[in-house]
A and B are shown apart, each in its own frame.
Chain A
Amino acid sequence: MTLAIRQVTKSFGQHRVLDALELEMQPGELVCLLGRSGAGKTTLLKILAGLLKPEAGSIWFDEEQVDYAESHARHDIGLVMHQPFLYEHLTGIENLRFYARLYQVADDAAALEAALAQVGMQRYGGKPVRAYSRGMKQRLTIARALLHDPRILLLDEPYTGLDLQGSLVFNQLMLEQKKQGHIVIMTTHDLSHALPISSRFAFLARGRVAEDLPNRELSLDTLENWLTLKLAKPNSEQQKVAA
């Protein structure tokens, strides 16, 4: 599957968050979105998920414009946001069973145990989510997002709450996603974990992809220096305030 974002524009009130943004992705690519807070990273993910409507522009999967009214288009997408999308009074297994039934994928005990096992949560599936730590919730959230085998994964700060082992498990899962030809778009501030799995780093500024850096064996130092330079440049809002 290919993904193309064409001329996507979105404003909140007077503030234009995305301004004719363009981005194309090939099968098996993982693009890491970087930028200041408020640069539009989460807004872009929500538009790609069909949760926000852009004022202008369109999203294309496999050279076909996406119609989010169609459930199969929404089912192509797995989403991890800041909030876990989990029900506190249900157990881990019950949460997964609920989503598996909605997506109409296998919801038998073996399938759900396997989904938990891939994030290292097989021992905690019977416990209510309200008893989970932040990291355990994040692992379950990742299992939930992968449950229906989506071809596009949208991840907003997926390393939040994950310990070192959890981050490594997550990276392994993302490498498998890439191998299967799935597309992953994620936002993160954790460059050290994102570096080994990212195909590209797209820097968002002034509502557009200001720079698209391919990951050709970049070192962490190079990446951090590049990002520091980007962040040091005042954006249009700051320039306005200074003026």
Chain B
Amino acid sequence: MRDWLHSVRTLVWKDLLQEWRSKDMLTAMFAFAILTLFIFNYAIELSPVNRAEIASGIIWVVMVFAGTLGLNRSFTAEQDQGCFDALVMAVPDVSAIYFGKMLTNWLVMLFVSILILPIYSLLYNQSLINLGFILILVLGAWCYSAAGTLIAGMTVQTRMRDLLLPILLFPILMPVNMAVVKAAGGILAGAPLVEVQAWLVLLAAYGIIVTTVSIMVFEYVIRE
């Protein structure tokens, strides 16, 4: 277990360092997120009444679409230089690669959301500083990364990976999308955390189940 955690830490360190140098994922995700926010700003007229309900939907849609760009990049960097084979040979267990990638995708997604939330607040004149709301986004991003990393690991070996990833990923994200939008909408409308507790439990359960299953099956996914 210690070796496994050491490998995960090493993989995350490498991925973040590489991302910091190249900024491949961050630039694409951030640019896409900003553009989408601007389009929503022109397309949807928000009144103070419906603002709280719609804000959660807009932010989550922006995060999910931007996150897909990041997921696509997270494995292609390994594939381009053949590094995947070297990783498989070096790690104590192949699941460490999945977990390391999942953590990196999660962190990158959260970093992008830290950048876009103030911009959203500025555009829509709405404060999003709310611990409950942030907790929901953190849980939602975890669920998204857990499922997305597994699917990205599968699709990276195909020629149509850019197309296949969203087609395979979005249907299995339906429960997450619903839970995040409903829970975050409730919180932004002023409901206490207890009132959206069921959605939080759903997110936590989804995250735990998908992460566990992915750890178990990742070796079969990436082998020939």
Give the interface size class of chain A.
20 to 34
Known: A49-B89, A50-B89. A102 touches B10 (CB 8 A): yes
Could you tell me if A85 and B83 are in contact, using CB atoms closer than 8 angstroms? yes
Q: CA separation between A49 and B87, bound complex, in Å?
A: 12
- Choose one: B21, B82, B91; the contact of A81 (CB below 8 Å): B82
Q: CA separation between A103 and B14, bound complex, in Å?
A: 14
B110, chain A: closest CB distance, angstroms = 22
Known: A53-B223, A85-B86. A98 touches B14 (CB 8 A): yes
Could you tell me if B224 and A85 are in contact, using CB atoms closer than 8 angstroms? no
Report if B46 contacts A (CB, 8 A): no
Report if B90 contacts A (CB, 8 A): yes
Number of A-B contacts (CB under 8 A): 72
Report if A84 contacts B (CB, 8 A): yes
Could you tell me if A79 and B81 are in contact, using CB atoms closer than 8 angstroms? no
Which among B6, B14, B77 has the greatest number of chain A C-beta atoms within 10 A? Answer: B14
Give the interface size class of chain B.
20 to 34
Could you tell me if A87 and B81 are in contact, using CB atoms closer than 8 angstroms? yes
Residues of A within 8 A of B87 (CB): 102
A to B CB contacts below 8 Å, 7 in the list: A71-B93, A75-B90, A83-B82, A87-B18, A90-B18, A99-B86, A102-B11
B104, chain A: closest CB distance, angstroms = 13
Could you tell me if A52 and B82 are in contact, using CB atoms closer than 8 angstroms? no
Could you tell me if A102 and B7 are in contact, using CB atoms closer than 8 angstroms? yes
Report if B47 contacts A (CB, 8 A): no
Which among B11, B82, B93 has the greatest number of chain A C-beta atoms within 10 A? Answer: B82
Within 8 A of A (CB), among B190-224: 223-224
Residues of A within 8 A of B10 (CB): 98, 101-102
